[in-house]
Amino acid sequence: MSVKRSDDDKRDKRWSDLFGSLDEEFEEMRENMNRLMERLMTGTPAFDGEPMTYGFSMKIDSNGKPRIQHFGNTRAEEEATPTREPLTDVIEEEDKVRVVMELPGVRKDDIRLHATAKVLDIDVETENRKFSKHLDLPCEVKGDSARATYKNGVLQIILQKSPKKRKREIKIE
């Protein structure tokens, strides 16, 4: 005897195929919330150490490719660390590269910058906050040309681009 599936059964299977993974994600979220609530009810700190911060920004680069940049002191599947990765924008202009970074709650004297032709490193360490960022720059710059300003928790660094090296024609003898 064969059982004929009804239209409702077919429709339910399509929805299940489409949203099946959401059920698993919601179940994992429910388990995490239950663990968090249990820790809160027993007086155990909800998080060990620093608050967990995570986020990302997405931009389209000059080649039309999406560029995703993570920031914070954790990733979705990692434990929190005391060092945070600040939200950063890198803007390539005609003759310079502009780096804008959010560093709330620190003094300009706490910020350490190191630049080379292709890399910019930023480190901040205070009693209450630690930030760190390693940036691979989109082009070569003059490391000694860096100029930085810091106002209202926003650091802006401007680096002059290195002149493009010309191709040298080689004559064949």
> Could you tell me which residues are beta bridge partners of residue 56?
70
Residue 32 DSSP SS3: helix
CB 119 within 8 A of CB 113: no
CB 162 within 8 A of CB 117: yes
41 & 58 share domain: no
Asked whether residue 104 is assigned to any structural domain, the reply reads yes
Tell me which DSSP letter residue 85 carries: B
Least confident range from 1-5, 83-87, 145-149: namely 1-5
State the CATH number of the domain containing residue 79: 2.60.40.790
Asked whether residue 108 is assigned to any structural domain, the reply reads yes
Tens digits of per-residue pLDDT, 121-144? 999 988 888 889 999 999 999 878
Tens digits of per-residue pLDDT, 61-85? 777 776 777 766 655 544 445 778 8
Q: Is the pTM of this model over 0.85?
A: no
63 & 30 share domain: no
Q: Cα separation of 65 and 61, whole Å?
A: 5
Q: Cα separation of 26 and 10, whole Å?
A: 24
Tens digits of per-residue pLDDT, 80-126? 457 788 889 999 998 999 999 999 889 999 999 999 899 999 999 88
Range of the domain at 31: 1-46
- Tokens 């809160």 appear where? 40
5 & 72 share domain: no
For the chain, the domain total comes to 2
Asked whether residue 171 is assigned to any structural domain, the reply reads no
138 & 121 share domain: yes
Max Cα–Cα distance, the chain, nearest Å: 88
> Could you tell me which residues are beta bridge partners of residue 122?
113, 133
34 & 69 share domain: no
- Tokens 């040309």 appear where? 145
Tell me which DSSP letter residue 29 carries: H
